[in-house]
Structure 1
């Protein structure tokens, strides 16, 4: 393997041929939707801008590649738009460059006029419930990365054969994605870009029953109607919702009046409840919506040491607090036996050295994308440093939400260039791309440009064609680096 892909003459020629005499050097860390939308908006907003997009993975596109469900190909079409951005003469993709390991934030700020952090949320919230470290308990993020071929979770190997029941904590879109992958016929998944190791495990899966558990009621379910409709429409799937859980309070009625999405979700759940048969057929898979429960304890198996066997839940009721209905415990408990638990309770961003971070909210303190020096009270800015995406606003929204988020951050950058702290800074010469390439070469970092991704892309599509699927993903670091570096 070549240790420095960036030494390619063709790439170096392109890297430097378009440089103006004094370009605005912009570095975007993270190549998911937030990163690429930021790069696109920046290139359009400033004709002197040279934008470099860094990612710790050898592959671009972030959660579009590793987070979007394999049976949602239409959502991935945005990759075509991002590819056009990456091929822009004033843009360069740096794959396999890890902020904090390959290069520090301070070094990037020294090299570039503007640094935009858009690396998202690559960790998980913790419940803090006894038994949370038992085997068989995973975050939904890990499970999603596993079936999408993310190299960090290639070897997750969840045991799907030793239990027939899974519990999913949470009722948002990610929770529904995970439930759908567990319950969907594998013959349908086989024609998607699901990772081969995951498809093989799902084909041997013994799971026939999935419980989707939420702290609050059906009116407060966090999913969208589109996602809910899709899972309710799976063929030969038995749906169970307790009639008592569908009763609405006057406060629920008021909530639905002000939210068309909540109203539609509730209507779909009611329809699914009334149209179901009394009991499932012997060979049917089952999806149980369980409301008004919060996890109290993960119980260990008596037969499998260190492995989860059940979740103890405390029943909840809703009370209004600061204008919002919150779940409070009732002191009543019940158990759901299971051998697999997936926690879909939220992603969490990870801070890096030199970056202010609000650990409670899991975001970088910012003012319309401008990074603030402190988490509260102090509105002093860190000159030239910005955020976008989940790192800016928290892990919420859909792919397109990042478009508006990027527009706001780029608008702040342009304001600062014309009349703010960047007005004088932008006139200074910065090493930018050349300086970063030199630094990474000295550290013997294998940088994979966008042309390396195109090699990976071509290889995956070729392998996929042999299996009658759109692509067969390379899912190990070794494979990705080898193919990208050839």
Structure 2
């Protein structure tokens, strides 16, 4: 019996969990990971905050998976440009879309397109050294930044903007980005949510970090904190929310010494919905409507308005996956239309491409297990002609003169980044463009 041949498009967590599941369930598969950039690991490299190096250690496990027999990496290969999705479906027994949700959901309010307003995907991509956003060049010459959103990404943006150079020394914040952030005159970062503190989507680990900043104090309005959570909030969800509220209680009553000694502030503003970005030529402020939350959980405006003046706005209100020709997209969820992970025929989706942007890094493990089971069962019951798979993709890319990067090339690039770290504390200094990456790898031998 021939070996099942699978192409996994995307090398982030959902992609690697799918590969791992295939190795466990499919006997002796041939799995090719196809990545648009030379660098693997998706949001671990370009989405996880640069000061969260412990979280990034998961790439050690992914690297072991990439080294397994039958697994290959094709970096610097763009599906839709270098090879079509239709071609991959002909080359492989199954194709898995593991492309995450890399695009920002856009707020539909007047002024959202003014200079100085950024989506969190592009802003986080910029401070993480993603090649797509290296030229973003945000103007941080402002004393106040508004971050719209009440999830971990909003907190990440706020924390990175107010941490001192010493606090970021052990991060992989790129040098050119660090120069811009640490020179900025930012005094306040205002994190704004439509709902109240009890509904915020922060994980408590991230929220607690905001208590221990060297040069910044976090502040919550005491009147925004609820006396108790609604009875309908139960179980684990209730425990998580209660922990967050306990943490925020300390933010509502910071000590006088904390406030007096702080150079910067992170202000949490709840019950506020953005209605317009203000400014002549570029952003100068955001107009908000005060909100209230009904017993049933719906949010409604109160008719009371206020303005926060600022010179930079970052919206962290969600993401959507990328589109592929011939693949239906669900605008509501921000995901690819699928049924339990199957998109159509031999095409599958995992992770945020399947579910929309929700959950933590490990949430995609189950998706990988389910899709690997479906592929195994389909391959066992169907009389499939022998597919060219790996060798067919290599021939196609070579014929089109695509300079693809294998995992050994990535390891060479990885070593070069580590070697050029600015200090012994820093884990690496990233190359910020594809051209720089390919130059660091050098010509392929043979």
| TM-score normalised according to structure 1 size | 0.88
What is the Cα deviation at residue 253 of structure 1?
4.8
What is the Cα deviation at residue 300 of structure 1?
0.6
Q: Structure 2 vs 1, CA of residues 239 and 276 (structure 1 numbering), >3 Å: closer, same or farther? A: farther
Please show how residues 53-68 of structure 1 align to structure 2 within 5 Å: 53-68=33-48
- Measured in 1, the distance between the counterparts of 2:230 and 2:185 equals 38
**1:49 pairs with 2:8:** no
- Measured in 1, the distance between the counterparts of 2:231 and 2:179 equals 45
Structure 1 residue aligned with 2:438: 481
CA deviation vs aligned residue, 1:248-298 (integer Å, no higher than 9, x gap): 46x635426652111111111112212443993375210111000000000
**1:31 pairs with 2:6:** no
**1:448 pairs with 2:405:** yes
Q: For the Cα contact (< 8 Å) 1:34–1:402, is it kept in 2?
A: yes
Structure 2 residue aligned with 1:366: 338
CA deviation vs aligned residue, 1:432-476 (integer Å, no higher than 9, x gap): 111111111222111011111111101101101656411010111
Match of 2:322 among 339, 346, 350: 350
**1:424 pairs with 2:383:** yes
Match of 1:457 among 410, 414, 428: 414
Structure 1 residue aligned with 2:307: 335
- Measured in 1, the distance between the counterparts of 2:218 and 2:330 equals 40
Aligned Cα root-mean-square deviation (Å): 1.7
Please show how residues 80-479 of structure 1 align to structure 2 within 5 Å: 80-160=60-140, 162-248=141-227, 252-255=230-233, 259-277=238-256, 280-281=259-260, 284-301=263-280, 306-321=281-296, 325-371=297-343, 382-419=344-381, 423-425=382-384, 428-464=385-421, 468-479=425-436
- Measured in 2, the distance between the counterparts of 1:370 and 1:283 equals 52
- Measured in 2, the distance between the counterparts of 1:468 and 1:225 equals 26
Q: For the Cα contact (< 8 Å) 2:26–2:372, is it kept in 1?
A: no
Q: For the Cα contact (< 8 Å) 2:219–2:267, is it kept in 1?
A: yes
For structure 2, list consecutive stretches of 5 or more residues without a partner in the other structure: none
- Measured in 1, the distance between the counterparts of 2:408 and 2:34 equals 14
SS of the equivalent of 1:71 reads: coil
Q: For the Cα contact (< 8 Å) 1:448–1:485, is it kept in 2?
A: no
- Measured in 2, the distance between the counterparts of 1:404 and 1:84 equals 19
- Measured in 1, the distance between the counterparts of 2:123 and 2:34 equals 25
Q: Structure 2 vs 1, CA of residues 254 and 452 (structure 1 numbering), >3 Å: closer, same or farther? A: same
What is the Cα deviation at residue 163 of structure 1?
0.8
- Measured in 2, the distance between the counterparts of 1:260 and 1:448 equals 46
Q: Structure 2 vs 1, CA of residues 278 and 193 (structure 1 numbering), >3 Å: closer, same or farther? A: closer
- Measured in 1, the distance between the counterparts of 2:179 and 2:208 equals 27
**Paired residues, number:** 442
What is the Cα deviation at residue 367 of structure 1?
2.2
Q: For the Cα contact (< 8 Å) 1:54–1:94, is it kept in 2?
A: yes
- Measured in 2, the distance between the counterparts of 1:313 and 1:262 equals 25
What is the Cα deviation at residue 364 of structure 1?
1.6
Q: For the Cα contact (< 8 Å) 1:349–1:390, is it kept in 2?
A: yes
- Measured in 1, the distance between the counterparts of 2:234 and 2:167 equals 35
SS of the equivalent of 2:420 reads: helix
- Measured in 1, the distance between the counterparts of 2:265 and 2:32 equals 48
SS of the equivalent of 1:312 reads: strand
Q: Structure 2 vs 1, CA of residues 157 and 256 (structure 1 numbering), >3 Å: closer, same or farther? A: farther
What is the Cα deviation at residue 181 of structure 1?
0.2
- Measured in 2, the distance between the counterparts of 1:295 and 1:85 equals 44
Q: Structure 2 vs 1, CA of residues 468 and 247 (structure 1 numbering), >3 Å: closer, same or farther? A: closer
SS of the equivalent of 1:434 reads: helix
- Measured in 2, the distance between the counterparts of 1:287 and 1:64 equals 25
What is the Cα deviation at residue 326 of structure 1?
2.3
What is the Cα deviation at residue 235 of structure 1?
2.6
Select between 277-286 and 182-191 the one with higher mean Cα deviation. 277-286
Q: For the Cα contact (< 8 Å) 1:28–1:51, is it kept in 2?
A: yes
